[in-house]
């Protein structure tokens, strides 16, 4: 697949000046300038944020009302329930708020809907059940902003509700006691990209300020807030940067038994954003995906090491089961695509009987990455097809589905990810409609873009330079790992690994030689020969094997030198 290499504009004089002013090497200076982190305060907060860099929580809409109501609950020893989501963001949101309020002397219960039976968000059956327990107050976390009918129903049942959420609201807000969401149209909060757990943390911070508590009473939860924030793939800029930069320090020395155990179980020796994204998040999400969301919450709340050990074994089992289920669906999906030549379509739409609702979104994401096309995977049950879809930059899948209302029962999501329900007898009509929309959008002209921080020579690379890039952590959405281009390198050795799946190279530039690894690029081993000259783009990293550190390029693209 052809990819467009897009370089940032690099002004050497500006880089030199920046490097001297902030005492950073030229590579770091280049990256910070590329990310538009150029004034003194922005540089300081990006590299060395502190606890004074949090925004005032009372700038969030309805925060004062919510805090006053919760303080009243604390004073009157009221009975509270937290209603959350089943993903990492939701689980960590409940963990933080429940723990904080219980330390204030409140009795706090929780409710997490089962993904497979209830789906996302508030539902009337759950609210009816909650109403029988005589709670004085319900607080939602990571959900509720679009629950207009459900909150109206809760009001009718006599349930007083505070909503905390981070999703986009519709034209109408739910008629709750308070609605805290930085994406509200009347919002005055300076940052609108908090994760759900970030909003829960801000609520704890605001209560702490109201009660005159020491900062440590809410800052001590930053390890859990950090995990939820990174896992939810929100932009790691502004306050999310402060949360995750400070939070990662606490993750490394966490006192939370569950978090410590899951880090150990992940097998990662280094604790960074990659560990959270690929070691911790999948295990927590596997619980919700497979219908065992309560075990994920128990893990974070447990104070019993024996219970934690038992829960970790369960999480590993759920994750293995999720991986096996995902692999089977993926193989079936690829077989369908190849048999039907569906990779020639502008949008790939496939389905299967009893495909697992909890994992088809992950498989859709892999299909989209492989073919660089929007994809929708459907699970067929009786006469209904339910599924998940993923898109590519430049094609708004949500907007496209809004033009197919006559063939869809319901859908939701955003430009890059959707959930959908339709009747099976409408599937062919839906496929034709969406394919036409994609064609008319000239989707074939959209090419994947690789944003490159700069071109460097192998002679400029050493261990100190590579290690200096760690100050840019945590990496994630809004702060991608820096990519560099290396041109006219000579292939010194080349081979495929893992039964042809991956690519291993050694590359030479004059007397300088470097290792390179290309994951899922094994097919290139047959396209290039020793002695060929190539240009490559990739991440700079240190690979440790048998106690020996070696610099390597983690390849993202390869082409023949011109």
SS3 for 444-499 is HHCCCEEEECEECCHHHCCHHHHHHHHHHCCCECCECCCCEEEEEEEEEEEEEECC
Euclidean distance between CA atoms 198 and 142, whole angstroms: 9
- Provide the CATH topology of domain 341-445: Diaminopimelate Epimerase; Chain A, domain 1 (3.10.310)
For helices 12-22 and 26-34, the axis angle rounded to 10 degrees is: 110
pLDDT reported for residue 79? 96
Q: Which residue has the tokens 């610099």?
A: 551
Tell how far CA 471 is from the center of its chain: 21
- Extract the tokens encoding 75: 């004073």
Report the run of H or E that residue 206 belongs to, with start and end: helix 196-211
Spelled out in words, what is the top-level CATH class assigned to the domain 53-245?
alpha beta
How much is the average pLDDT of 427-444?
95
> What is the per-residue pLDDT across 190-239, written as a single tens digit (0 to 9) for each?
999 999 999 999 999 999 999 999 999 999 999 999 999 999 989 999 99
Q: What is the mean pLDDT of residues 483-491?
A: 96
| pLDDT the model gives residue 353 | 92
Cβ atoms within 10 Å of 543's Cβ, excluding its own = 12
Across 278-306, average pLDDT: 94
**Please, which pLDDT band fits residue 410 given cuts at 50, 70 and 90?**
confident
- Given a cut of 80, whether residue 360 has pLDDT beyond it is yes
The mean pLDDT of the chain is 94
Residue-level pLDDT at 11: 86
What is the percent of the chain where pLDDT is above 90? 88
Contact 84, 141 (CB under 8 A): yes
Range 425-438 average pLDDT: 95
* Closest to 359 (Cα-Cα) out of 324, 383, 384: 324
pLDDT bin (cut points 50, 70, 90) of residue 405 is: confident
Residues in the chain: 562
Q: How far apart are CA 176 and CA 162, in angstroms?
A: 6
Looking at domain 450-560, its CATH architecture is Beta Barrel (2.40)
Name the DSSP class of 255.
Answer: -
Q: How far apart are CA 122 and CA 118, in angstroms?
A: 9
Q: In angstroms, rounded to a whole number, what is the distance separating the alpha carbons of residues 459 and 532?
A: 20
- Six-digit token pair at 503? 């690519």
Do the beta carbons of residue 144 and residue 176 sit within 8 Å? yes
Contact 348, 375 (CB under 8 A): yes
Query: How confident is the model over 536-555, as pLDDT tens digits?
Result: 999 999 988 878 889 999 99
Within 10 A of 459 (CB to CB), how many other CB atoms are there?
10
pLDDT value at residue 437: 96
Cα(29)–Cα(472) distance, integer angstroms: 11
The SS3 of residue 167 is: coil
Number of alpha carbons in the 13 Å side-chain half-sphere of residue 490? 8
Question: Which residues, including other chains, have CB under 8 Å from residue 30's CB and lie 6 or more apart?
Answer: 8, 10, 15, 453, 454
H or E element at residue 288: helix 281-290
* pLDDT given at position 414: 80
Q: What pLDDT score was predicted for residue 231? A: 94
Q: What is the pTM of this model?
A: 0.91
Asked if pLDDT for residue 1 goes beyond 80, the answer is no
Ramachandran bin of 89, using left for φ above 0, alpha for ψ from -120 to 50, beta for the remaining angles: alpha
Six token digits for residue 375: 């994809």
Contact status, residue 525 vs residue 536, Cβ threshold 8 Å: no
CA atoms within 13 A on the CB side of 423: 6
With both helix axes pointing from N to C terminus, report the angle between 63-76 and 196-211 in degrees, rounded to the nearest 10.
60
Q: What is the DSSP letter of 256?
A: -
CA distance 197 to 307: 25
Peptide bond connecting 39 to the previous residue in cis, omega within 30 degrees of 0: no
So what's the pLDDT on residue 354? Answer: 85
pLDDT, one tens digit per residue, over 206-217 is 999 999 999 999
How far is residue 548's CA from residue 542's CA, in Å, rounded to a whole number? 10
The C-alpha angle with vertex 142 and arms to 82 and 300, in degrees rounded to 5, equals: 65
CA separation for the pair 251, 223 (Å, rounded) = 5
Instruction: Please report the pLDDT score of residue 4 as a whole number.
Output: 92
Listed range (110-119, 124-133, 420-429, 527-536) with the worst mean pLDDT: 110-119
Percent of the chain scoring above 70 in pLDDT:
100
What is the per-residue burial (b if ≥16 Cβ within 10 Å, else e) of 26-60? bbbbbbbbbbebeeeeebebbbebeeebbbebeeb
Name residues whose C-beta falls within 8 Å of residue 413's C-beta, 6 or more positions apart in sequence. Answer: 389, 397, 398, 419
Structure tokens at 103: 């330390």
Our CA angle for 206, 80, 187, nearest 5°, is: 35
Tokens of 516: 């390179």
- At residue 181, the pLDDT reads 97
Q: What DSSP letter does each residue of 503-555 carry, written as one string?
A: EEEEEEETTEEEEEEETT-GGGGGT--TT-EEEEEEEEEEEEETTEEEEEEEE
**Res 518: pLDDT:** 96
Q: Mind spelling out the 3-state secondary structure of 99-155?
A: HHHHHCCCEEEEECCCCCCCCCCCCHHHHHHHHCCCCCEEEEECCCCCCHHHHHHHH
Q: What is the pLDDT of residues 514-539, one digit of tens each?
A: 999 999 999 999 999 999 999 999 99
Per-residue confidence (pLDDT) for residue 448, from 0 to 100:
92
* Cα dihedral 515, 516, 522, 524 sign: negative
Read off the pLDDT of each residue in 15-28 and give the average, rounded to a whole number: 94
Instruction: Read off the pLDDT of each residue in 10-24 and give the average, rounded to a whole number.
Output: 92
Radius of gyration of the chain (CA): 25
Domain ranges (residues) in the chain: 53-245, 252-324, 341-445, 450-560
pLDDT at 545: 80
């Amino acid at each position: 697949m052809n990819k467009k290499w897009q370089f940032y504009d690099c002004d050497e004089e500006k880089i030199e000046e920046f490097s001297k002013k902030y005492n950073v090497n030229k590579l770091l200076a280049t990256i910070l300038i590329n990310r538009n982190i150029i004034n003194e305060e922005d540089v300081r907060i990006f590299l060395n944020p502190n606890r004074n860099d949090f925004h005032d929580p009372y700038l969030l809409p309805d925060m004062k009302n919510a805090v006053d109501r919760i303080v009243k609950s604390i004073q009157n020893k009221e009975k509270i329930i937290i209603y959350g989501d089943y993903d990492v963001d939701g689980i960590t949101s409940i963990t933080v708020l429940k723990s904080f309020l219980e330390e204030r002397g409140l009795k706090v219960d929780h409710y997490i809907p089962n993904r497979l039976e209830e789906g996302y968000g508030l539902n009337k059956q759950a609210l009816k059940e909650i109403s029988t327990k005589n709670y004085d107050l319900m607080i939602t976390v990571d959900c509720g902003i679009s629950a207009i009918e459900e909150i109206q129903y809760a009001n009718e049942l006599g349930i007083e509700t505070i909503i905390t959420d981070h999703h986009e609201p519709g034209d109408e807000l739910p008629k709750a006691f308070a609605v805290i969401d930085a994406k509200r149209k009347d919002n005055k909060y300076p940052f609108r990209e908090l994760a759900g757990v970030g909003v829960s943390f801000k609520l704890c911070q605001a209560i702490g300020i109201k009660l005159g508590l020491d900062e440590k009473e809410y800052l001590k939860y930053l390890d859990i807030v950090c995990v939820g924030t990174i896992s939810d793939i929100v932009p790691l800029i502004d306050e999310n940067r402060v949360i995750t930069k400070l939070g990662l320090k606490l993750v490394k020395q966490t006192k939370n038994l569950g978090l410590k155990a899951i880090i150990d179980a992940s097998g990662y020796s280094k604790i960074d954003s990659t560990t959270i994204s690929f070691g911790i998040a999948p295990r927590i999400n596997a619980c919700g995906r497979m219908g065992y969301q309560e075990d994920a919450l128990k893990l974070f709340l447990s104070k019993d090491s024996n219970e934690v050990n038992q829960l970790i074994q369960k999480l590993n089992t759920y994750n293995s089961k999720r991986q096996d289920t995902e692999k089977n669906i993926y193989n079936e999906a690829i077989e369908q695509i190849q048999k039907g030549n569906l990779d020639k379509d502008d949008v790939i739409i496939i389905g299967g009987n009893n495909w697992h609702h909890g994992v088809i979104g992950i498989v859709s994401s892999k299909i989209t990455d492989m073919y660089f096309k929007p994809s929708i995977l459907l699970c067929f049950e009786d006469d209904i097809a339910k599924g998940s879809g993923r898109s590519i930059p430049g094609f708004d899948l949500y907007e496209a589905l809004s033009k197919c209302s006559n063939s869809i029962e319901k859908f939701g999501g955003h430009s890059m990810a959707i959930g959908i329900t339709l009747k099976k007898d409408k599937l062919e009509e839906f496929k034709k409609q969406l394919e036409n929309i994609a064609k008319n959008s000239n989707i074939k002209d959209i090419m994947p873009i690789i944003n490159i921080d700069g071109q460097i020579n192998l002679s400029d690379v050493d261990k100190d330079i590579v290690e200096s890039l760690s100050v840019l952590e945590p990496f994630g959405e809004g702060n991608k790992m820096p990519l560099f281009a290396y041109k006219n390198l000579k292939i010194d050795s080349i081979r495929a690994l893992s039964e042809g799946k991956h690519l291993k190279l050694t590359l030479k530039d004059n007397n300088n030689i470097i290792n390179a690894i290309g994951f899922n690029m094994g097919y290139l081993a047959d396209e290039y020969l020793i002695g060929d000259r190539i240009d490559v783009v990739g991440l700079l990293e240190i690979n440790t094997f048998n106690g020996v550190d070696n610099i390597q390029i983690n390849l993202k693209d390869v082409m023949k030198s011109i």
